[in-house]
Structure 1
Amino acid sequence: MMGATELLDLAAQLKAREESFVLATVVRTVSVTAAKAGAKAIIRSDGTIVAGWIGGGCARGAVLKAAREALADGIPRMISVQPDNLLAELGVRPGETREGVRFAANMCPSQGTMDVFVEPVLPHPSLVIFGASPVALSLAAQARPLGYHVTLAAPAADLVATPEVDVCVDGFALEQLAGGARFIVVSTQGKGDEVALRAALSCDATYLAFVGSRRKMDSLRDKLIKDGIDAALLDRVKAPAGLDLGAITPEEIAMSILAEITLTRRRGQRG
């Protein structure tokens, strides 16, 4: 069985590869249980336990279910697996959550109790920027300190210097993108607007925005619809990009876009 050090090394490797997984840790046991406090397991997004041990089938189902949910919403969970008689004494039913703890029934003969902390480890959010405009470059510079994996796609000839990004693509054709939540901003501002917008529309994204006026976007929309692009796809594009903060400079416009992305990314999490 993999030791704790090796297990944490594997977790670090998965995190470095921008792979989603859950780290499940047994934090408390009462009576007879297969795993003891401190036991850990790494669970991939497909529900596979790739390393570690958190006990047998008595707790596995509840933990795997919580792991899938945690990977979907990014929120850690505490799972308490207890025999039915103890759940009845607490006045809770299997599947019920109380004060941040979700309860599950232990149907095994051991009748032990096990509390497991389920922590999702997700890839950095991905920001894909099309264009080498001042707004695009400022957006890239401001996003990296906030933890975004930044990809900038623009013709190399348009760049006066090498931008400080995670991935720099020559042109607008993207072959592979980082996983995790993805936010896309087209900030070509007159240099390849249509080509960049077509490329952006081909990518899955939580947020897709165009830096430019509503009128300019309407003109591009009409042309792309005539060329066979689905109108519903174009309706996903937010134009102009960013919150209306009265921004004027490229840095302020970039800040307004990041504010809007933050609003989209964090919606519902504080509750």
Structure 2
Amino acid sequence: MSYAEDILSLAQNMREKGSPFVLATVVRALASTCAKPGAKAIILPNGTFSEGWIGSGCTRGAVLKAAKDALEDGQSRLISVEPGDLLAKRGVAPGEERDGVHYAKNSCPSRGCMDIFVEPMLPRPEMFVCGSSPVAVATAELAAKLGFAVTACVPASDQEAFPEVEKRIEGYELPPTSPGERFIVVSTQGRGDDAALQGALAVDADYVAFIASSRKAEALKAKLQERGLPADKLGRLRAPAGIDIHAVTPEEIALSVLAEIVAFRRSQLKGHAHEA
């Protein structure tokens, strides 16, 4: 097995564990460069190179900045590191992006040119489905098809409603943290509403939805507030949830909720990209 294959094997192990990182790959190298095409490196969120080699300090700063930005917005980047005079001939300045390429200046005496593909490897977004109603089951099935890592959160007696989910929790006590984005959908429909909502709102999440009418949601929120649940946590609850597509069937309701989640998630990533 080659060293590059070793890097890819390590990257796969990290992905299976849900650890965020960046995989940087040299895709082009001209003149005198330390690293050659195919060279790879793993960059951690703290800005350190875990494994691999993609060149000297002339490329390090540009690649680390690209890695940081990629982890923030989830977008891959192509970095071209070139001497200043070649950048001038192209009519681009160091730090400028043009036609999808981010340019950086190589100040080393080697005057080499190198293109590096920077690819973020982020944990899959997690979907916690609380309840075993037909809408909950349909939500779990559709979320899995959309790439979410789905966890069914229901009492032991109702677990059989979810034959193919990745993870299971008996009851509604969710883990306090997740390695990546976390989305929670509560669709208990009268069976454990209070407990499921309290469990969903007790933890941090990017999105918490309750499948119910506005009247029922407000009544349950008032009850939870009386029990001491902070107003800021209650304010995070989306109810009724989903985009209004005049949904009727459980599958249509699940589609409306997942559509809202996808729109919310993509807008968040796009916002990070603008901030970068």
TM-score tier by shorter-chain length is: over 0.9
2:194 paired residue number: 194
Do 2:242 and 2:257's aligned partners in 1 also have CA atoms closer than 8 Å? yes
Do 2:130 and 2:186's aligned partners in 1 also have CA atoms closer than 8 Å? yes
Whole-angstrom distance in 1 between the partners of 2:19 and 2:267: 23
The structural deviation recorded for 1:135 is 1.0
Write the mapping of 1:201-240 to structure 2, written as runs, cut at 5 A.
201-240=201-240
1:131 paired residue number: 131
Whole-angstrom distance in 1 between the partners of 2:135 and 2:10: 38
Write the mapping of 1:75-86 to structure 2, written as runs, cut at 5 A.
75-86=75-86
1:118 paired to 2:118: yes
Whole-angstrom distance in 2 between the partners of 1:162 and 1:133: 10
The structural deviation recorded for 1:51 is 1.4
The structural deviation recorded for 1:58 is 0.8
Q: Which stretches of structure 1, 4 residues or more, deviate above 6 A after TM superposition?
A: 268-271
Give the stretch that moved more between structures: 87-96 or 63-72.
Answer: 87-96
The structural deviation recorded for 1:206 is 1.9
Do 1:155 and 1:171's aligned partners in 2 also have CA atoms closer than 8 Å? yes
Q: 5+ residue gaps in structure 1?
A: none
- Deviations along 1:84-113, one digit per CA (max 9) or x if unpaired, are 222222222211111111111112222221
2:12 paired residue number: 12
2:166 paired residue number: 166
When the two chains are superposed, the root-mean-square deviation of aligned CA atoms in Å is: 1.9
Amino acid at match of 2:188: T
Amino acid at match of 1:61: G
2:90 paired residue number: 90
Q: TM-score, normalised by structure 1?
A: 0.93
- Matched-pair identity in %: 53
Do 1:43 and 1:67's aligned partners in 2 also have CA atoms closer than 8 Å? yes
Q: TM-score, normalised by structure 2?
A: 0.91
SS in 1 for 2:129: strand
The structural deviation recorded for 1:191 is 1.6
Q: 5+ residue gaps in structure 2?
A: 272-276
The structural deviation recorded for 1:238 is 1.0
The structural deviation recorded for 1:176 is 6.2
Do 1:137 and 1:163's aligned partners in 2 also have CA atoms closer than 8 Å? no
Write the mapping of 1:37-186 to structure 2, written as runs, cut at 5 A.
37-175=37-175, 178-186=178-186
